[in-house]
Amino acid sequence: MMVGRVLGGRGLLVPGSMVGRRGAVAVQTRLSGGHAVDPNNVTKVTPYEVDLMKVHQKVMTNPTLRSSTDARNEKLKWKRNIPVHGNTLHRNFDDIKHSTLTERGALREAIRCLRCADAPCQKSCPTSIDVKAFISCIANQNYYKAAQMILSDNPVGLTCGMVCPVSDLCVGSCNLAATEEGPINIHGLQQFAVERFFEMNIPATEGEKYHIAGDAKNRRIALVGAGPASISCATFLARMGYKDVTIYERNHFPGGLSATEIPGYRLSMNAVLQEVKIMQDLGVKIKFGMSLGQDFTVESLRADGYDAVFVGIGLPKAKIDKVFAASPPGFHTSKSFLPDVNYASKSCGSCSVGCDPDPKEAELPKLSGNVVVLGAGDTAFDCATSAFRCGAKTVTMVFRQGFGQIRAVPEETELARDEQCEFLPFAISKEVVTNDGGHVSGLRLVKTKFDENGKLVETGDHFTLDCDHIISAFGSEIDDAAAAAVKPMGLNQWGKLDVAPNTMQSSSTPWAFAGGDSAGSTITVEAANDGKTAAWHMHAYLQSEARKGQPSGIEVGPPRLPMMHTAVDDIDVSVEMAGIKFPNPFGLASAPPCTSGSMIRRAFEQGWGFAVTKTFCVDRDLITNVSPRIVRGSTNGPLYGPNQSSFMNIELITEKTLAYWVKVVEELRADFPDHPIIASIMASYTKEDWQELVAKTLPSNPHAIELNLSCPHGMGERGMGQACGQNADMVHDICSWVREAVGPEYPFFAKLTPSVTDIRAIAEAAVAGGATGVTAINTVSSLQHIDSNGLPWPRVGSENLTTYGGMSGNATRPMALKAISSIAASLPDVPIMGTGGADSADSSRQMIHAGASVVQICSSIQNEDFSVIQDYISGLQWHLYAQSRPDLRQWVGQTPPDAHASVARVKDHNLPHFGGYEVLRRKKRTEQAASESFSQSHATIGNRGAPPPASSPDRAPATVNEEIGRGLQFISNFTDMSIEEQVVAVVNPETCINCGRCYLGCNDSGYQAIEFDEDTHIPMVNDNCTGCTICASVCPVIDCITMQPREEIFPESPFMPHRGIEPEGEVVGTLAGQRDKRVNDYAPVKPGKAKKAKVDVSDVEIQSKH
């Protein structure tokens, strides 16, 4: 086995045999000599390559012969689904949920989502979270907006993402359940998005200003219990503008049952605290150590001047079978056992929500031997898995009925099954057996069955189950003290608080409301929705009270709750270009989304900043389209549904008349004066046609005109579109004709085709002819697909004919960025409208950094719908906001610098995560858990540590205009780039999944610089590495392979190109030498013209990017 050492503190493995020095840190490197060749036989495979290729993929020539015995033994070595026995998890409260996702997993899962119409997942969520929209934001790496959409509808969205019984809710209704790949992991995506938001450390602020009648905003509101129902209710009340909202909590910490009864391996305390902090950002106060029935009652709160009261308590009293009335030592109820577990294992850490100090040092309950858990609900399964962490050797779950009647959701039962709990169905407790000391030693049970009428009956067969502890989890109820303390609120026939289910308002006391367990909701998400519902109807009640005695008042109207709001949402994303003010830089391209005026109207209503009409012409040039004409791109491979990387079309310009579009522009200009409407026109190379078009268009008063000189199909055969746009002289003439027609000041843009040798020459011709600016680029001329019968797609008519069409979408983005940046560098003062593959806020930002002022969108809408604009706007707002904070400036987009580092507790770079190595890792983790404190290891959000304190803004947020061209300063000619500063690949073995793709790619597409250990499957990079980055490009794990300075990784092996045979004469091997070899009249980037960014990036640490 080849063994490497840790590099510095990075957790990176560098292979080797020769020791170098990097500061005071020893670094192993390998001097391979692998490229030494025989000059007389240069194609001969060297001994180094022969050894390197031992496990390399080869073409199969014969079947493999191996005995079944050998195969059985071999599989154990590579096994990854190694069973976990719960008795190895003593004191180990690491996250065990199958749904928890890293960023890589979240992105891969999010792109599966179909964004269904009238989405059933949203309808199945009690809090009505817009599931498809937040998943769309995750797919576009806009985690801020995803979290905002979650928390807007559900203030405890992180808790619910971790513990919701989604198989019975959103996931159970996912349309992809009808397919082989199964439903979306919605709760895992929800957890990921909200965790990432909390890492951003952005406080909540008051957003939409509610007009609250009279002095109602100062009305006093009390909430009892700091659980999910109260947190939700208080958050919504504070968002609506109520200033005096106080929660009374009996514990020294918030969270209710989320904190006391849901184990930390399913829900961390820090997740709860972050949700509470968002609530407190809005001014909600919590009074700890205040117990209902002891320190106050609902009536006393009213007497103390509170105008409304919300009761959000749990059910404090455990239901106990009369068999256990004596409660001998070794007997526990879920209401005592789970709080004891959580008091000890859930640390508040250094929380910032004002928790009172814990008056006692809690320890985990000490269990041993066999533990019996009675019950078949979610709580029973939590007790079972918690018992292992408290020392149980075996856990047996006993329930009265069969497996088909288990009330717990699959999310709970699967965890218990994975940890090898035993299950005993059809049994009822009859008697507790105790030893001489009175401690539980067994449980006598009787078997049950369903009779022919379906009634559960006892069979008379008795047996004894040896055990050392019994945990009863038969549910809970309101105790007498709580029932008395909530008066004048009454109880209903089920022993729950009597409230109207649609308003959560007390049937007998209009100023009292309730939600959660005490009101009959049995799961966290329903409790959150109870609080949400109560908040609105409490608002309606307080408004009606404030209006009493007034001659007129403010009507509450239909429910309209405010969104979660932060400083990000206040960022101005308007931009000015060519004297036109755009509310945001995102508009509809002249494409299918602008097929009609009503579509543009709907887009403006959704928030799109501007629109370019479908291209129209004089009536004598009207066209009729063929069909089919818009198809999914062949670049998508087997991916069907949304998230297509490209579309291909043979659609022409509009079929509607010039008069129609003139009317459209008139109406939209009048109804949406702040949303620029740009008229797209096309004609042949005829001055009279262009000037006639302009003369008939201008009376409608569009904000600007776009000249379509770039349609790549159909129109060129009529002498229009690309037939004009590929000729610089024709472009110049057309622009001069239009300038003559519109006058000296009116703005118009020439839309350019990418199907030219140098787009800068066409742009320069357009500007010289009088164009205000340019649009780059139109679709790319292409042939989309030919099937196995030689037939094309799309194909038209009985002759199955096709033509070269236009490709759009993400596949064209690199071409668009090249065109935009080269034009911006050559013509720094010319405004550019960018288009071509801008499918998200992040890709649109790239176009702005390349030099575009505004961005036109089409394919993204074809993949989704007009509502995607919320992702564009909020994503850009987040970027501009992040420029004001030094900590967020170090992020790459919405990803923190260390996001892809391993979160494994045990770090041993020589141990992969399979077979015996994984068993050894688990053994080390068990030893580690036995000695570490819970406050050190479990005060986390999910799997990651609590976020560091937010840094204060040290500058104003950036503006869109300041960001234009920010990336141009880094685009140069090849001969300007350094050949002295070389990098090499470094593999992080903690995140490596041992697939060997880097090894295969390097061998057959690179430089044979990666060795692959036969035993551990850990790849090791040697000094043959030239930094080409093929390995990182094919690696399936984000940032598992990063590119690091060669002098740091291989200090004794400076880079020298392997020439094969020594060169003769002078070699251009230096930067100066490269520059001396330039051909003076050829420069892909014109030097000295690129405008510098207006945003200071001097303090931004450049992150490794592949």
Q: How far is CA 384 from CA 87, 95, 335, in A?
A: 11, 16, 14
Read out DSSP for 1014-1034?
TTT--EEE-TT-----HHHHH
The conformation of residue 806, written as its DSSP 8-state character, comes to E
CB atoms within 10 A of CB 1100: 14
What is the C-alpha radius of gyration for the chain, rounded to an integer number of angstroms?
Answer: 34
Cα–Cα distances (Å) from 883 to 877, 879, 888, in that order, read 10, 7, 7
Strands 748-751 and 940-941 turn out to be: unpaired
* 711 is a catalytic site residue: yes
At position 669, the amino acid (one-letter code) is R
Distance CA 828, CA 1041 (A): 37
C-alpha torsion angle, residues 758, 760, 763, 768 (rounded to 10): -120
> What tokens does 1026 get?
């030239």
- State which H helix or E strand residue 1041 sits in: strand 1041-1045
CA distance 401 to 403: 7
Determine the longest span between alpha carbons in the chain, in angstroms.
Answer: 111
Do strands 394-398 and 512-514 pair parallel, antiparallel, or not at all (unpaired)? Answer: unpaired
**β-pair type (331-333, 469-472):** parallel
840 and 809 in contact (C-beta within 8 Å)? no
Alpha-carbon distance 98 to 112, whole Å?
18
Pairing of strands 773-776, 832-835: parallel
Secondary structure string (H, E, C) spanning 59-82: CCCCCCCCCHHHHHHHHHHHCCCC
Cα separation of 307 and 294, whole Å?
A: 21
Single out the catalytic residue among 390, 617, 711, 1031: 711
> Are 647 and 782 spatial neighbours (Cβ–Cβ below 8 Å)?
no
Amino acid of residue 839: D
Cβ(178)–Cβ(543) below 8 Å: no
3-state secondary structure 941-953: ECCEECCCCCCCC
Q: What count of other Cβ atoms lies within 10 Å of the Cβ of residue 578?
A: 18
d(CA 632, CA 794): 10
In sequence order, the β-bridge partners of residue 986 are 1042
Residue 919, classed as helix, strand or coil, is: helix
Determine if the peptide bond prior to 777 is cis (ω within 30°): yes
Q: Where are the beta strands (DSSP E) in 554-655?
A: 575-577, 580-582, 586-588, 610-612, 630-632, 647-649
Specify the length of the chain in residues.
Answer: 1106
Tokens of 778: 């139109």
For 739, counting Cβ atoms within 10 Å of its Cβ (0-12 exposed, 13-18 middle, 19+ buried), the class is middle
Phi, psi of 933 (to 5 degrees): -85, 150
Cis before 628 (ω within 30):
yes
Give 189-248 as a DSSP string: HHHHHHHHHHHHT--B---S-----TTGGG-EEEEE--SHHHHHHHHHHHHHT--EEEEE
Give the catalytic positions in this structure: 711
